[in-house]
Structure 1
């Protein structure tokens, strides 16, 4: 329903032609290869994987393509993972039709476009010298380790975390081991329990 509504919204925009709509990441990749669109609007939560991990695959198939993330996720970890992967814009699903159309035009021109809430997060990140705003809990962890611990607390496995940050499984395993050592957890389950007790599950 959301994709149908988004398609209708875009078709009302001036100089925008919708060449396809995909339910899964693999369908999207096939459409990109076939249609070679100027812009791909991509969600994070896909039935067959994480949208962030799809960004470099799309750019490999269509280097000229510009990717706009349109998603419900606006936490620091997701925003920066998408930008590192190569996304040119990032807006949240509560954006109105006018903003969505404006974002598509802006990204198509080669410029970046970000929702106001995302701009605020980026500004805070830069102002803090690159430190995450939510690392007061377990300050012994690096920003990346803290982000991984948050996902662990949410019940995410290593494969999901690797896709989320576009990292290798070996790198994720090393991060998880470092997290456990730094917070004094003898097992992954204990690390998750400590994180949840500290309230990280909802971050």
Structure 2
């Protein structure tokens, strides 16, 4: 397996090269100090796995990952960085990296990460994974809130009545509408919230309506 190491700190690069020389199945094909050098090399050469630092001059790791994913879709990408914050992890994953690891990782574990990424697995550090979960959860909540906001005023009135456990007849009497109209509103509520029953709709209401 051929790998490319990109990091603007020579000490880091040399340390990685020295370590990988102890691994029989991993060969360092090239060292780069920025993203432009990575792309220049890849234009005429092949690397199975590219290891990228986030912060590099001329072209950083995120932009380099995007370019690699577009131009060399079969190449595996591992981000090796000191940053595990939301604003770094999410863009890296969105750029298409196959792995995201911290620089304090045990060298032998890093070698195993590279092997597994090469085989097609996705390897995300625990700290980075927690940021991903926060992102996914936040996006899910935003989508649910959006659905609730799409309800008309009358549909929200009906949803509030559902939250109180009232029957269709009780809702009709309380809102001074027919049961047929209640059923129509209920159907719209279920459809817009993408739920199948009154209980699920009520849970939406409890969660997002004040």
Report the TM-score, using the length of structure 2 for normalisation. Answer: 0.58
- The reply to whether residue 63 of structure 1 matches residue 45 of structure 2 is no
Which of the residues 47, 51, 54 maps onto 1:41? 51
Which range moves more in the overlay, 121-130 or 52-61?
121-130
Runs of 4+ in 1 over 4 A off after TM superposition: 127-132
**Paired residues of 2:34 and 2:60 also in contact (CA < 8 A):** no
Instruction: Answer yes or no: is 1:119 the counterpart of 2:118.
Output: no
Structure 1 residues 76 and 26, CA, compared in 2 at 3 Å: closer, same or farther? same
Instruction: Give the root-mean-square deviation of aligned CA atoms.
Output: 1.9
**CA gap 1:131/1:73 in 2 versus in 1, 3 angstroms:** farther
Whole-angstrom distance in 2 between the partners of 1:84 and 1:130: 17
Query: Which residue of the other structure, out of 102, 108, 112, is the alignment partner of 2:118?
Result: 108
Of 30, 42, 57, the residue aligned with 1:32 is 42
Instruction: Select the structure of larger CA radius of gyration.
Output: 2
1:54-107 deviations in whole A, cap 9, x for unaligned?
112112332210100001111112111011111111001111101210111111
TM superposition score normalised by structure 1: 0.60
Within a 5 Å distance, the mapping from 1:1-203 to structure 2 comes to 1-128=11-138, 130=140
Name stretches of at least 5 consecutive residues in structure 2 with no aligned partner: 1-10, 143-210
The alpha-carbon deviation at position 9 of structure 1 amounts to 1.7
Q: Give the aligned partner of residue 158 of structure 2.
A: none
Judging by fraction of residues, say which structure has more helix.
Answer: 2
Structure having greater relative contact order (Cα 8 Å, sep ≥ 6): 1
How far apart are residue 36 of structure 1 and its match?
1.4
